[in-house]
Every structure is written in structure tokens, then in C-alpha cells.
Structure 1
Amino acid sequence: MRVVLAPDSFKGSATADEVVHALAAGLRRADRSIETVARPMADGGEGTLAAFLTATAGAVRHRLVVDGPAGPARASWVELPDRTGVVELAAVSGIELLAGSLRPWDAHTIGVGQAIAAALDQGVERLLVGIGSSASTDAGTGLLTALGARFLTAEGRPAAPGARGLRSVAAIDVSRLRELPVGGVSVLCDVQSPLVGEAGAARVFGPQKGFTDAECRRVDADLRMVATLISRALPAARPNAPGAGAAGGAGFALSAWGGVMQSGAAAVADRVGLVAALADADLVVTGEGRFDGQSARGKVAQFVRDAAAEAGVPVAVVAGQVSMDADTSGFAQVVSLTDLAGSGVDARRDPTRWLRRAGRVLAERLRP
């Protein structure tokens, strides 16, 4: 039996590579005849850099120090042999960099812009920017600032970074905003939310950044005001476009700059050769840390399920936790590490152990 392993990372617990290796160990321990094929995935969020770096011969990691969401942070971007630069928001301005201490008003995306600027300085001809797992809700004003834009108060001073400064923005100067690379910018995005409104950046994702319900409503109003100003300065800005609300509005800012939204999972799948690997597979296993109602909306599990269905290959999902609202249709098997371990705490404490157990469980269920 040939099994393709194509999981996302289990955010904060295990990288996609670690998930692949643990599942493979469990499958082979249960049945030595099983052949595993590693295709670690990502959707633009955490693990995107690693996926491109692992899948591309000759890729180079460039290291730098950026202004992270909680101060200076060591970061990197990846240069591919075809002069494409890959920047991952999660690695430079991600919520995991806050180490559990949320900064809803002051976290920003300046580091993303600095990493993009570094790639441009290196002479890349195209950019891929993954924008999942953000720490901030700043409408991308931080990244645009790092690329040369100025967000000014009524007194002509620079507005404070992060959501805190949005309400004070009275004018925007884009005269020194850097130009896009000749091959353009693809924004790898896993959500379809607009910037503002009930389904927007603040109202949907604000609570996980640390805002109260009342603060979410206030920030939504501030985002709407800033979006109006940015739209006047940058005609490509579309606050209601799908993905504009991704990463606290970083999707809006990058598209206003001229970037084009693209499925992050599709871009990574193309790079790692997922479809080719499925051609003679007997099973594909995908997974993520939390499998819930959002998983069927452009994330890795849904993408792999659809690709497997097109190839006529059954698909299983392994997740740290499976929510009650998760859409499990189309999956031949669903395995929860929380169920195997007895609790989410125990599953997160030793994910490798329970991923190996999940591999063994799948192998046992596959026996005729």
C-alpha cells in the first residue's frame, strides 16, 4: 500500500514535517509493507516557508532581524532559483511570536514589510507572500509603512503602529511607496473574509487577537475609515474583496499595493507536487491542529480532500482536535489526537507520541 502524507502543521505543536515523520513511523510500525510518500503542506500560514524550502532544490534562506509584533525578532525569507522571493507573515509578524501574551492594540505588520523590502533589495523578480496566523489588526498599515507609505495624523505626525493608531490617521502619503517586482506579487491566503463588517477582520478574528466584543466593533469602524483613505491613495484597494480581511487586513493592504490573491494551499501543492504523488496512491492522509468548520473554507484539509477526490483516492484526516461543527464528509477516516490521548492537554503535551498512535490506528483500520 502506498500512502501519501500531506498534512498542514499543527500550529504551536508540530511542524508539517514533524507530523509527516510521526505518522509515517506509526504506519510502518503497524505494517512494514506500507510505503509512505512525504508531501508536507501549508496554506500561506505557519510552515509555508519550510514547505517551499524543503520542496525546492537550490532554495536559499535569507536571515534578518525585523520589528516583530512584540519587539525585534529574528526572521527569514526564502529565495527560489527562479528569482522568486517567499515571505511568510507568520514567521515575522505572527501570533506565535507573542509567546501567549496577546497585544491586540499594538501588534503590527511592520516586519512583513521589512522582509518584503529585503527581498526586493536582493533583486527578486516575483514575490509570494503567505499571510496566515497574524498577531495584529492594523489593515496592513505596518507593512505599507515599511514599504515607504506614510500614515499621518491631523498634526502631520506618523500615526502609532497597530490598531491603536488607526483612528488617528488623517492622511496617507504613498509618493515613496516601493514598486512591485516585475513579476508581481501573489498573496497566499486561506480565508475569504472582507476587511470590514460582520464577516470582517475585526468582528471574526478580533477575539483571537485579544479584543473584547466592544473593541471589535470599534476596530471595525476604524478599519472602515482607514480603508476609505487607502482606497483614495491606492485605486487597486478593494476592502470588500474576498481575502481583504485576512491577517487583520494585511490581505487588503497587499492587494491595494497590487498583489493578487491566490489559494495558499494550491500554491504549495503545486510546488511540492501533490497531484503527481496522488496518481498511484492508495490513500492520502492530511491533517491540522484543529479540524473545524473553518477547515472546509480554503484550508489544507479541504484542498487535499478535493484533490484526492479528483484523483479517485480515499482520504483520511488526522487532527489534534475535531470540532462538532467540522465537515467530515468526503473523508474515509477521521482520527482525533485528543480522543486518542484522552484530553487536548495530553495530546498537545506529546503530539509526536499521539501522531504515531494515529498512524497505527489508520494502518489497523486499513487492514482487509
Structure 2
Amino acid sequence: MRILIAPDSFKESLSAKEVALALKPGLEKALPDADFDLMPIGDGGEGTLDALAENLNLEKKTVKIPHAYTGDGSVPYASNGQTAIFEMAAVCGLEQVPKDKRNPLCITTQGVGELIVHLVKSGISDFIIGVGGSATNDGGIGMAYGLGYRFYDSEGRELEPIGANLGHVKKVSSKNKLDLSNVTIRLITDVDNPLCGLNGATYIFGGQKGLSPSQVKKVDQNMAQFYQGFAPEVPKLAGSGAGGGMAAGMVAFAGAEIKSGIDFVLDCVDFDQRVKTADLVIVGEGRMDNQSLSGKAPVGVAKRTPSAISVIAICGSLKNDLPDFPVGGISAAFPIIGQLGDLDQILSSAKENLYRTGLNIGNLIKLSQSL
């Protein structure tokens, strides 16, 4: 039996590679004769850099960016001198911001623009940027500020480039923006949500970033108002709501192109060839919910898996808004949480819980083979 293990990262807990490495020993103990193909993946959020760097033969590096939220401002990227990959989550991701300081309207994405400027000046002309996992909801204006754009209110006063000020912007200046005419930017997104509306960035993702329910409607209206005046076609694009509207901002301010993150990554890791030899595919993410059905990694992998090969999901938790399985090409899904505890305790126990779940599923597979 050959098992392809292709998980995404478990947000705020384990990288995709760590998840795959934690699952294998449990499965291997129950199924000692099985062969394993570990394929950690990303879909535009955390883990995308690791998934792509090796397959595209890019060297991993770090650079200090003033407006990054890491402890020392260091941000990882990968490059071969012409092409560069980075994740916006490495600059302003949810994991970078302490829980008591999470406020998507006050956290800037300026560091993303600063990183682009640094890389362009170092000779990069081709970008692959993972857009997902952000702690922000600014429509990308912070990033644009980092590129040299400036924003003004009705009195001509310059505005700080944060989500809280979107509703006050009356003028945008591109006088000092970075010249990107010879630069290609491909955005790989982990969702296909539009920018605004009930299925947009604010309504769907604002709550998990710290927005209260009473704020959502007004914040969404401000986002829509800004883009109606600046780039009215952009909010309609599938995926423009990714990264708190960073995808929309990249298109509007930097001429970027949005691509499905999971399909892009699967192409790069030669998934279609590797899955042909598999008898079972295991996918996973930190929390699977109804939103996972809209382009995120587990369902993206399942859709690319031949129908004769079974796909199961192993996740940190399963939200009750999911329909009954099978759905989205996934036959069954298993949460790994074995006992009640506070969130920090559950996150810190992920490796042990993955091992145990892998062992139990392996035992179940062995049992089914004997029937």
C-alpha cells in the first residue's frame, strides 16, 4: 500500500512538513509494509514558501523589514536572483501578532510593499506571493504605501495606511510609487472570495482576526466605497478578498495576477504524477470548515486526485458548519483533538495527537483489509 500524505500547515501550531512527519510514524506502526510519499503543501498561506522553494530550486534567505511583525523584523523568502517567493503571512500574518494585540483595522501591511521594493532593487523581476493567513483587513493600502503611494482625506491631510482609514480616503497619489512596469507578480491565494459583500474579506474572515460583529457591516462598506472610487472592477475578481483584501490591492496598485494557490503549488510539486502511484491520499489543515470547500488545500488536493483513489482528511478540528462527508472529494474527515483543554494546550499537543490519530486510522485500514 502506498500512502501520499499531503497536508497544509496547522495554523499557529505546526508547519505542513511537521504535520506530515507527525502523521507518518503512527500510520507506519499500524501499517509496517506501507510506502509513504510525504508532500507538505501550501495554498497561498503559511507553508507555501517551504512547499515551493525546493521544487523551484530557489535558495532560502531572510531580510529585515521595518514593518514586519516578527520579533526582529526578519522575513524569509526564496530566490534565484530573478524569481522570488514570499508569503504575506511572514510579514503580517496572524501568527506574528500576539492575541491581545490583534486588530485588523490597525495592523499595517506596509512591510509587504517594503519587501517588494527591496527585492526589485536587488534585481528581482518575477514574484510569486502567497496571499493568505493575514492579521489585516486594509484592502492592501498599507502595501501600496510601502510601494510609494500616499493617501489623503477630504482636507488634504495624509492618512496612515491602515484599514481604519479606508472610509476617509478621498485622494490617492502615485507620484512616488515604485516603477513595476518590468515586473511580473503572481498572487497565489488560498480562497476564491471576492473583496466585498457577504462572502467577502470582512464578513468571512474579519471575526477570526479580531473584528467584532458590530463592526463588520461598516468596515465592508468602507472597503467597497474605497474601491468603487479607485478600481471598481477589482472587487469582482475571484480571490480579491484574500489576505484581508491584499489580493485586491496587489492587482490595483501593482498590476498583479491572481491564481489559485493550491493548483499552482500542486503543479510545482508534480502532484498529478506522484498521486498516480498512491492507494490513499491523506490531506489536512488546522481547522476544516465550510470555507475550506472554497479553494483551500484539502479540497484542492482531493479535486486533483483520481476518483479511484480514496482521500481522507486529518484536521485539528472540524467545524459544525461542514456538510456530511463525503464532500469535495474527501471520503471522511477526522479531528485529532483527544481531550478537552485550553487552546494553547491543544496547539502544543498537536504532534502527539497526530501520531495517535494516524495510528488509529492505520489500525482501521488494517482491519478493513482483513474483513
TM-score w.r.t. length of structure 1:
0.91
> C-alpha displacement at 1:218, in angstroms?
1.6
Which residue of structure 2 lines up, in the alignment, with residue 317 of structure 1? 313
- Contact 1:141-1:253 within 8 A present in 2 as well: yes
Partner secondary structure for residue 49 of structure 2: helix
Query: How many Å separate the matches in 2 of 1:29 and 1:183?
Result: 50
Which residue of structure 2 lines up, in the alignment, with residue 219 of structure 1? 219
1:37 and 2:33 aligned: no
Partner secondary structure for residue 288 of structure 1: coil
- Contact 1:127-1:181 within 8 A present in 2 as well: no
1:109 counterpart letter in structure 2: T
With 51-60 and 118-127 compared, the bigger mean Cα shift is at: 51-60
- Contact 1:3-1:36 within 8 A present in 2 as well: yes
1:249 and 2:245 aligned: yes
Q: Identity over aligned residues, as a percent?
A: 30
Query: How many Å separate the matches in 1 of 2:55 and 2:38?
Result: 10
Q: Deviations over 1:2-52 (max 9, x none)?
A: 111100000011110000101111111222211111110111001111212
Partner secondary structure for residue 66 of structure 1: coil
- Contact 2:44-2:188 within 8 A present in 1 as well: yes
With 38-47 and 268-277 compared, the bigger mean Cα shift is at: 268-277
Partner secondary structure for residue 292 of structure 2: helix
Partner secondary structure for residue 104 of structure 2: coil
Residues 334 and 199 of structure 1, relative CA distance in 2, 3 Å threshold: closer
> C-alpha displacement at 1:96, in angstroms?
1.2
Q: What are the residue-to-residue correspondences of 1:335-350 with 2, within 5 Å?
A: 335-338=334-337, 340-341=338-339, 345=343, 347-350=346-349
Which residue of structure 1 lines up, in the alignment, with residue 150 of structure 2? 150
> C-alpha displacement at 1:77, in angstroms?
1.8
Partner secondary structure for residue 309 of structure 1: coil
With 206-215 and 291-300 compared, the bigger mean Cα shift is at: 206-215
> C-alpha displacement at 1:342, in angstroms?
5.3
Which residue of structure 1 lines up, in the alignment, with residue 277 of structure 2? 280
Q: Which consecutive unaligned segments of at least 5 residues does structure 1 have?
A: none
CA-atom RMSD in angstroms: 2.1
Which residue of structure 2 lines up, in the alignment, with residue 366 of structure 1? 365
Residues 142 and 349 of structure 1, relative CA distance in 2, 3 Å threshold: same
1:294 counterpart letter in structure 2: Q
Q: What are the residue-to-residue correspondences of 1:45-84 with 2, within 5 Å?
A: 45-68=45-68, 73-80=73-80, 83-84=82-83
1:289 counterpart letter in structure 2: G
Q: What are the residue-to-residue correspondences of 1:8-157 with 2, within 5 Å?
A: 8-68=8-68, 73-80=73-80, 83-101=82-100, 102-157=102-157
1:295 and 2:289 aligned: no
- Contact 1:108-1:161 within 8 A present in 2 as well: yes
- Contact 1:16-1:47 within 8 A present in 2 as well: yes
Residues 354 and 54 of structure 1, relative CA distance in 2, 3 Å threshold: farther
With 167-176 and 92-101 compared, the bigger mean Cα shift is at: 167-176
With 289-298 and 210-219 compared, the bigger mean Cα shift is at: 210-219
Q: Deviations over 1:192-231 (max 9, x none)?
A: 2222222222222222222222321221222122213322
Query: How many Å separate the matches in 2 of 1:188 and 1:58?
Result: 17
With 44-53 and 54-63 compared, the bigger mean Cα shift is at: 54-63
Residues 57 and 70 of structure 1, relative CA distance in 2, 3 Å threshold: closer
With 143-152 and 95-104 compared, the bigger mean Cα shift is at: 95-104
1:159 and 2:155 aligned: no
Q: Deviations over 1:62-118 (max 9, x none)?
A: 32233035997321221147x221120111011111121212321121111112222
Query: How many Å separate the matches in 1 of 2:212 and 2:302?
Result: 35
- Contact 1:126-1:181 within 8 A present in 2 as well: no
Partner secondary structure for residue 42 of structure 2: coil
Q: What are the residue-to-residue correspondences of 1:177-256 with 2, within 5 Å?
A: 177-180=177-180, 182=182, 184-231=184-231, 237-256=233-252
> C-alpha displacement at 1:359, in angstroms?
1.5
TM-score w.r.t. length of structure 2:
0.91
2:243 counterpart letter in structure 1: A
Query: How many Å separate the matches in 1 of 2:125 and 2:68?
Result: 25
1:269 and 2:258 aligned: no
